[in-house]
Each structure stands twice: as C-alpha cells, then as structure tokens.
C-alpha cells in the first residue's frame, strides 16, 4: 500500500485522531454484533420448532378441511365461515435492539369457541375449525420469529461487514500512515541536527 | 390488530376464514400488487399472510415488507400441496449471518 499524504506534523495529529476514532468504532460495532448474535441465539430453539411444525400443522388443517367440505359441501363451509367473527385479538409491539426493530407478537390461543350454528354442521367441520385454529396460532408465532430472525440476520451481516472493513482496511491504513509520517519527521530532524553540527564545526 | 390473507387458492381462504381471517383470492401479478396496496392502506392490519405462490410472484414487495421498520409484518404460509420451502427456511438465515451451521 502506498501512502499518499503530505508528511507534516498536523497531518500526523489528524491521522492519529482518526485512528483512535476508528478503533473506538471498531470496539463499539464488535459489541453491537455480539449483542445481536446473542439475541438471535435465544431465538434459535423456537425457530427450529416452528419450522418443523409448520408443514405438519398445515397439511393436517388442509386435510381436515377437505373432509369437511366433502361431508357438508364447500359452499356450506364458506357460509359457516362468514358467521365467524373476524379475529382481531392480534397484538404486536415493536421493540428495538441496537436499532433493529423487532416485533413481539402475542400468541393467538388455540382455544376454540363455538361461533357458527350447529344445525347443519357436523364433527368434520368442527375438526377443520379446530385444526385451522391451531394453524393460526402457529402463524402468529411464525410471524414473530421469522421476522425477528430475518431482521437480526440482516443487521448482523451489515455490522460484520463494517467490523471487517475497519479491522482489515481502515485501521491498518491509518497505522501505516502514522508510521510513514513519523519516520519522515524523524528523518528530517536527524537531517537538521547533522547540518547544525557541520555548521558549528566550520565556524570553530 | 388483524390478519389479512392474500391467497392464490380458495382452500386457504375458506379454511382461514373459518377462524376469522379475511382475505382475497388473486392470481395475476397486477391483482396481487393491488391487493397488497389495499392491505397496506387498511388500518389495523398487523400481519399480511401470503401463500407461497403469491410470494414468488412479487419478490420485491416481499423484500420491502420484510425489511420495513413498521407494520404490517409478512408471513408466508404453505398451500394445500405443502410447502416448497426448504426445511430450514428460518435457521438458514442464522447460518448465513454467522457462517456456522448450528445443529
């Protein structure tokens, strides 16, 4: 790497200051990365559980729906659906960890409550209702965990890139500049010193 | 807050309507974009649900929703034929970010 700066005292001070700043930034970013990674590690177990369950829960739900529509007719399943009150118990809070907005979703309970008429329905429809309720509960967890992990992962990657840039490019560059200027100044000082000595010798 | 479903098939819509999730069935790209726009305008929508086919159709919107700092969140759900996403679709983000495979 060639250093292309004017080797002056003021430049030296300036570079030293930048170097100190870069080092400080490096420790801060390193801390940030550690916090984010720790936060993500806490999620890993539930993430694994949800991603395993999702396929199973949904295929069960679709299967039971199919049975229900075979027994009472798809139109009737749809009709029963219109009687169900819209789910509005979803509650989401956004929390910020090191500037990353991550959501906290309250899980929707799997509990069932009768919300359509029983006159023309049968057990198959109830089963479909129950398994979709389970699916919805899983969806609320999936929404939270997937978004959290995704955002944390993105931020970690970004931070990692910055840490690397500081560590491997910026800081070494500054260090080299400091070294270059210091040695140049020393050299000129020796030069002067020697010249003075010679001058004295001539005078005497 | 509520859910809103954007589905490409009627099964998903009927099934989720049974537990109180309203949604639309759309197929064309234009329709999907329209539905997303409408859903984002609606108040009180906390989570937008999409089936996998819909999400594949509009990757740029998916990215935008994922990274936006505000609500709604986006969740992708499988359809009747099961999921096409890999088994480790969440933990793979972790792997990408940290560079270590976690077992």
The yes/no answer on whether domain A9-197 falls in CATH 1.10.287.3240 is: yes
Dist. CA B62–CA B54, nearest whole Å:
10
Class (C level, CATH) for B2-98: alpha beta
Count Cβ neighbours within 10 Å for each residue of A179-198 and write b for 16 or more, e otherwise.
ebbeebeeeeeeeeeeeeee
Confidence of residue A117 (pLDDT cuts 50, 70, 90): low
- Write the pLDDT tens digit of every residue in A18-68: 889 988 999 999 898 888 888 888 888 888 888 888 888 888 888 888 887
What three-state secondary structure class fits B47?
strand
Cβ proximity of A159 and A111 under 8 Å: no
Helix/strand/coil for A11: helix
Nearest to A146 among B2, B21, B75 (CB): B75
Residue among A154, A83, A84, A193 at smallest CA distance from B96: A154
Q: Any idea where the domains of chain A sit in the sequence?
A: 9-197
What is the average per-residue pLDDT within A155-166? Answer: 88
User: Which H/E stretch holds residue A71?
Assistant: helix A9-72
Pick from B18, B47, B49: which is nearest to A81 by CB?
A: B18
What residue segments make up the domains of chain B, in order of their start? 2-98
Residues of B in contact with A101 (CB under 8 A): 69-70
Give the integer Cα–Cα distance in Å for B12 and A52: 20
Cα A185 to chain centroid, rounded: 46
């Amino acid at each position: 790497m060639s250093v292309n700066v004017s080797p002056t005292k003021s430049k030296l001070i300036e570079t030293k200051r930048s170097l100190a700043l870069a080092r400080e930034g490096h420790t801060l970013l390193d801390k940030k990365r550690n916090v984010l990674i720790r936060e993500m590690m806490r999620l890993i177990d539930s993430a694994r559980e949800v991603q395993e369950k999702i396929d199973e829960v949904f295929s069960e739900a679709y299967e039971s729906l199919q049975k229900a529509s075979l027994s009472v007719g798809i139109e009737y399943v749809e009709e029963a659906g219109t009687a169900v009150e819209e789910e509005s118990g979803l509650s989401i809070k956004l929390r910020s960890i090191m500037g990353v907005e991550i959501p906290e979703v309250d899980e929707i309970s799997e509990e069932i409550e009768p919300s359509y008429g029983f006159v023309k329905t049968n057990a198959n429809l109830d089963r479909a209702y129950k398994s979709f309720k389970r699916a919805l509960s899983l969806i609320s967890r999936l929404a939270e965990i997937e978004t959290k992990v995704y955002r944390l992962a993105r931020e970690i990657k970004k931070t990692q890139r910055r840490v690397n840039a500081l560590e491997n490019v910026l800081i070494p560059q500054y260090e080299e500049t400091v070294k270059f200027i210091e040695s140049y100044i020393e050299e000129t000082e020796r030069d002067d010193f020697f010249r003075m000595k010679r001058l004295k010798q001539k005078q005497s | 807050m509520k859910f809103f479903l954007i589905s490409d098939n009627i099964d998903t819509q009927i099934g989720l309507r049974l537990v109180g999730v309203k949604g639309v069935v759309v197929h064309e790209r234009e329709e999907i974009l329209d539905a997303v726009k409408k859903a984002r305008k609606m108040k009180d929508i906390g989570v937008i649900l999409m089936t996998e086919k819909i999400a594949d159709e509009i990757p740029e919107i998916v990215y935008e929703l994922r990274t936006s700092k505000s609500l709604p969140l986006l969740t992708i759900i499988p359809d009747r034929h099961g999921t096409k996403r890999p088994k480790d679709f969440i933990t793979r983000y972790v792997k990408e970010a940290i560079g270590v495979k976690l077992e």
